[in-house]
Amino acid sequence: MSRAQLPNLLSIPVSQPVEIDKNRRKQLAGLLGWDTKTLDKKYPFDWAQPIAEIVGSYHAVKGGSKTTTLKNTRRALGLLYAERRGKLYEDAVNLLSNERAGVDCETSAKLIELAQAVLRNEDGAKELLAEAAQDRDKELSLLKRVDPRQEPFREFCGLIGYIFFKLASESYHTQRHLIRFAREVLDLAGVTDKFLAHPEQLAELLKADIHLHC
């Protein structure tokens, strides 16, 4: 069994928006409750461009990080509340203060500002960070693992949901229409995961919180 280590910083991905042809634009517009002419008049920007960009971004990061594991994340959290001093503690603080920390999005969102406060030597910051790290460690202890490939996909699904509710006709703001739109975008991205056959699981991912730093 390999020894736990601190997760790495994630590299900055280089993404390229995918091409969305005329037929796909028409299909996407219909799934948003519009026709393409109406959408083209409604928005002063290319409404399909955000879709093309998130698909391109997902392609750039979908491999995830091999060091983003439950064991490694819990190793970093343990250093934050059990050590509170020394080089390993400093390394853990520096890691969690960085928006490119190779941990799951929820862990990063809960700890990044507290870790940054520790680096600024703010009063009480170490204690607050230790408490938050211990709470998050308890939550992660209930999980079997953090799949390195799941984090980029979870973020991708959250962005699909975000774009849907920004662009869709209000009458289309239902789970059924959301899932139909998402499946079209996922098809554009070449996603064929078997769980897509389960609407409830997909709907949960489409409503995931998204963090721009993650």
Q: 121-150 in b/e burial notation, b at 16+ Cβ within 10 A?
A: eeeebbebbbebbeebbeebeeeeebebee
Candidate ranges 72-76, 129-133, 145-149; pick with highest mean pLDDT: 129-133
Asked if residues 214 and 155 have their Cβ atoms less than 8 Å apart, the reply is yes
Per-residue confidence (pLDDT) for residue 178, from 0 to 100: 94
| CA-based radius of gyration for the chain | 20
Percent of the chain with pLDDT over 90: 50
Domain map (residue ranges) of the chain: 22-64+149-206, 70-140
Question: CA–CA distance from 173 to each of 161, 162, 170 (Å)?
Answer: 10, 11, 5
Give residue-wise pLDDT tens across range 3-52.
667 887 766 666 788 999 999 999 999 999 998 888 888 887 889 999 99
Beta carbons within 8 Å of 23's beta carbon, 6+ residues apart: none
pLDDT given for residue 1 in this prediction:
45
Beta bridge partners of 101: 9
Give the model's pLDDT for residue 214.
Answer: 45
- Whether the Cβ atoms of residue 33 and residue 168 lie closer than 8 Å to each other: yes
pTM for this prediction: 0.65
- Which residues contact residue 41 at a Cβ distance below 8 angstroms, ignoring those fewer than 6 apart? none
HSE-CB for 16 with a 13 A CA cutoff: 2
pLDDT above 70: percentage of residues in the chain: 85
